[in-house]
Amino acid sequence: FFFFLSGAPRDAPLSFCILTPLAVLPLFAKMMKQLKMAKDMQKAMQQGGPMGALNAMMGPTPPRKEGYLTKLGHGSGKWQKRYFTLDDTGLSYSAAPGQKEKGKLHIDGSTVCEPVDAGCEVGDDALAPSARPKQHVPEYAFKVTSVWKGHGRRTFFIAASTAQECDAWVEAIRLLIEGLPNVNPHQRDPGAAGGMGMMGGMGAMMGGMMGGGAAAASAPPPTAAAATPA
């Protein structure tokens, strides 16, 4: 493989055959890094749309708020204790601080966050088709509804331990929402090529990068028509 990359002839000296492939290693490592970045951005694009891809490209941001809350399990219908982190890219959760992320709800200007009453009804967008709530919604709960995996919307039901903690989380999420554009694909102008112009072009570029491999990753993104946020 390295002989192919380096173009070394078959009758080349031994030193040339050894050193030339070594010189190609940085280029190969860079190519693999770019492919991983493209794969990560495609995953973020699928989960959070163009805003998710932009956030992945920008990298991690300092948490706005973090701490333990309980959430309604999408598949189990049970209330589960999770460690939540709110940053500029969305609301993520894990089993404990520093552990692997279990899920993430990307947030944009179309996201809705509001407190709910204890025992309120849980909609179909909060549970898997075969799941049913095992317990009623507890006190000090709120819900967050946003775009999910690039299509449709999902609602997270989350509960705090006190009314003050619930209010603080709702306020922090709403402050984040107010500073973000609306890139919900279901609310875009059908005649606009990618609701935010540049964001739509980047979305098309992500699909091309993963569909065509490394060669497609270096191709320029398709031109998107100018559009204003919905």
Higher model confidence: residue 168 or residue 36?
Answer: 168
Report d(CA 194, CA 29) in Å as an integer: 33
Question: Mind giving me the DSSP string for 138-161?
Answer: -SSEEEEEEE-TTSSEEEEEEE-S
Which of 32-36, 38-42, 174-178, 215-219 has the lowest average pLDDT?
Answer: 215-219
Predicted confidence (pLDDT) per residue in 122-179, tens digit: 999 999 998 999 999 999 999 999 988 766 899 999 999 999 999 999 999 999 999 8
The model's pLDDT over 84-94, given as tens digits with 9 standing for 90+, comes to 999 988 999 99
Cα separations (Å) of 30 from 50, 52, 215?
25, 23, 14
pTM over 0.95: no
Q: Which residue has the higher pLDDT, 79 or 192?
A: 79
φ, ψ of residue 225 to 5 degrees: the values are: -70, 145
pLDDT band at 180 (very low <50, low <70, confident <90, very high): confident
